[in-house]
Chain A
Amino acid sequence: MLMNSESDAAARERLSALVDGELEDRAVAQACAHWRESPASRATWHSYQLIGDVLRSDDLAADAARDARFVAMLRARLATEPVVLAPQPVGASRPDAHAETARAVSASSRRWSWMAPSAVAAGFVAVAGVLTLTRTSDVAVPDRPAATGLAQATPGLAGPVLARSTLVGSPSAPEPQTFVANGELIRDARLDRYLAAHKQFAGSTALGVPSGFLRNATAEAVGR
């Protein structure tokens, strides 16, 4: 009983400090929890606030029952309001009140953490597709025999990517037909004619690929 009285007194002293905004951050949550759970604590809070008001002005002396009715009515209205959740400043620390928010944010971060490697992988696939396209386009060009090796070395990858890149590389040309059958590329002859006709515009980049096609194909990959 004595312990209980002591803890009640300590709780009331914390409320008193909270009235003045002088309670340590870590104890605020404890005081608020006590306020929520204990009607006596709520009555004490009201008494302390009323005392302050009356000390400042006798006009503010009010019947406690009336105050209680006002709060009860407002509580009912607040129950129908959406819970406020304001963005918190970086570095704000309120461990208990934010525990759930922090867990949600953490889960969200985990959800998004795979995005960066995925973007890198997608970029790699796009570049590989361009390389494949430009190298395999040389298959039909006699003066670039070495490019054939790359396309054949990655048949699975080259197929679908090649088809997309081809569309971008010749937007105004008739749609070429490109297939992979038994690991070999079967391509529309019109595409080969188109590539050959535009070969004179192709510059050389650091990657050793025709820069014109690299720009077009890359733009499409980013657009996606």
Chain B
Amino acid sequence: MNGMTKPDADAPLIERVKSGDVKAFEMLVVKYQRRIERLIGRMVRDVDLVPDIAQETFIRAYRAIPQFRGDSAFYTWLYRIAVNTAKKTLMELKRDPLVSESARGGRDEDDDNASRVENELSDGETPDAVLASKQIASAVNFAIEALSDDLRQAITLREIEGLSYEEIAELMNCPIGTVRSRIFRAREAIALRLRPLLDTRDGERW
């Protein structure tokens, strides 16, 4: 890691995982599961395989985390594991004709449209789930627009531009504590809008 590289935001959790805190690894899973599944979904056309490969990716990452030295960002490292796991799975599918046949429905370009849709929506991506995803995206975008300028700027600089609190404080000409508070309040406001879509009661599913 060169001197110009920003410290990895995941470093505190990774340190805890390395010292035996499995729950800290779950926190990282919650953070990255969607990105990892999207990545795998672009490599593996059988959507049924995506969650399994994503699970395998995280298990491999957990086993290998003592070797993670922080030379790259944690997500970069996880990304490589996901790509290798997906490639390995695809190779195994080619070697195993039975598995290939069962998975062919999701990969065969000649399949009719209905069959393809059925396969693509076979795991969690039911029409309801797709609709829920769209509603979540709309709610977040709507909530962002409803924020005050200060809160919107703070959360945008952090989440989209990836700036540190110190950099945001410099840009917004305010103390770091204020940046932290603004980002927190922005998240709270957005989460409040999302709550009806995410769950009926706090913590019911978590």
One of B15-23, B85-93, B102-110, B111-119 at the interface? B15-23
* Bound Cα distance from A39 to B96, whole angstroms: 42
Q: Contacts A21-B7, A21-B9, A55-B140 hold; do A94 and B15 have CB atoms under 8 A apart? A: yes
Contacting pair B184 A60 (CB below 8 A): no
Contacting pair B26 A71 (CB below 8 A): yes
Q: Contacts A21-B7, A71-B33 hold; do A85 and B194 have CB atoms under 8 A apart? A: no
Asked if A193 is at the interface (CB within 8 A of a chain B CB), the reply is: no
Interface size on B, residues (CB 8 A): 73
Asked if A61 is at the interface (CB within 8 A of a chain B CB), the reply is: yes
Distance (Å) between the CB of B143 and the closest chain A CB? Answer: 8
* Bound Cα distance from A32 to B157, whole angstroms: 25
Distance (Å) between the CB of B32 and the closest chain A CB? Answer: 8
Which residues from 1 to 44 on chain A have a C-beta closer than 8 Å to any C-beta of chain B? 12-13, 16-23, 25, 28-29, 32, 35-36, 38-44
* Bound Cα distance from A85 to B158, whole angstroms: 32
Distance (Å) between the CB of B33 and the closest chain A CB? Answer: 6
Asked if A124 is at the interface (CB within 8 A of a chain B CB), the reply is: no
Asked if A220 is at the interface (CB within 8 A of a chain B CB), the reply is: no
* Bound Cα distance from A216 to B47, whole angstroms: 75
Asked if A50 is at the interface (CB within 8 A of a chain B CB), the reply is: yes
Contacting pair B205 A84 (CB below 8 A): no
* Bound Cα distance from A23 to B13, whole angstroms: 11
Which residues from 149 to 171 on chain A have a C-beta closer than 8 Å to any C-beta of chain B? none
Q: Contacts A43-B206, A55-B155, A56-B159 hold; do A32 and B194 have CB atoms under 8 A apart? A: no
* Bound Cα distance from A56 to B161, whole angstroms: 9
* Bound Cα distance from A68 to B27, whole angstroms: 12
Contact with B184, one of A12, A67, A87, A101 (Cβ below 8 angstroms): A12
One of A72-80, A110-118, A132-140, A173-181 at the interface? A72-80
Contact with B59, one of A78, A88, A101 (Cβ below 8 angstroms): A78
Asked if B80 is at the interface (CB within 8 A of a chain A CB), the reply is: no
Contacting pair B12 A28 (CB below 8 A): yes
Asked if B94 is at the interface (CB within 8 A of a chain A CB), the reply is: no
Asked if B44 is at the interface (CB within 8 A of a chain A CB), the reply is: no
Contacting pair A51 B65 (CB below 8 A): no
* Bound Cα distance from A71 to B133, whole angstroms: 18
Question: Residues of B contacting A16 with CB < 8 Å?
Answer: 180, 183-184, 187
Contacting pair A43 B198 (CB below 8 A): yes
Please give me the residue from chain A that is nearest to B128 by CB atom.
A63
Asked if A103 is at the interface (CB within 8 A of a chain B CB), the reply is: no
Contacting pair B205 A65 (CB below 8 A): yes
Please give me the residue from chain A that is nearest to B183 by CB atom.
A16
Contact with B55, one of A32, A45, A46, A77 (Cβ below 8 angstroms): A77
Instruction: Give per-residue flags for A76-104: 1 if the beta carbon is below 8 A from chain B beta carbons, else 0.
Output: 01100101111110001010011001000
Which residues from 1 to 52 on chain B have a C-beta closer than 8 Å to any C-beta of chain A? 7-13, 15-27, 29-31, 33-35, 37-38, 51
Contacting pair B23 A35 (CB below 8 A): yes
Contacting pair A54 B140 (CB below 8 A): yes
Contacting pair B16 A97 (CB below 8 A): yes
Asked if B54 is at the interface (CB within 8 A of a chain A CB), the reply is: yes
Asked if A143 is at the interface (CB within 8 A of a chain B CB), the reply is: no
Contacting pair B159 A74 (CB below 8 A): no
Contacting pair B59 A74 (CB below 8 A): yes
Question: Residues of A contacting B202 with CB < 8 Å?
Answer: 39-40, 43
Instruction: Give per-residue flags for B59-95: 1 if the beta carbon is below 8 A from chain A beta carbons, else 0.
Output: 1001101100000000000000000000000000000
The contact sample of 19 A-B pairs, CB cut-off 8 A, is A16-B187, A17-B184, A18-B13, A20-B158, A20-B183, A22-B164, A28-B16, A41-B203, A50-B136, A51-B194, A54-B136, A63-B136, A74-B58, A78-B22, A78-B62, A84-B18, A85-B20, A86-B19, A94-B15
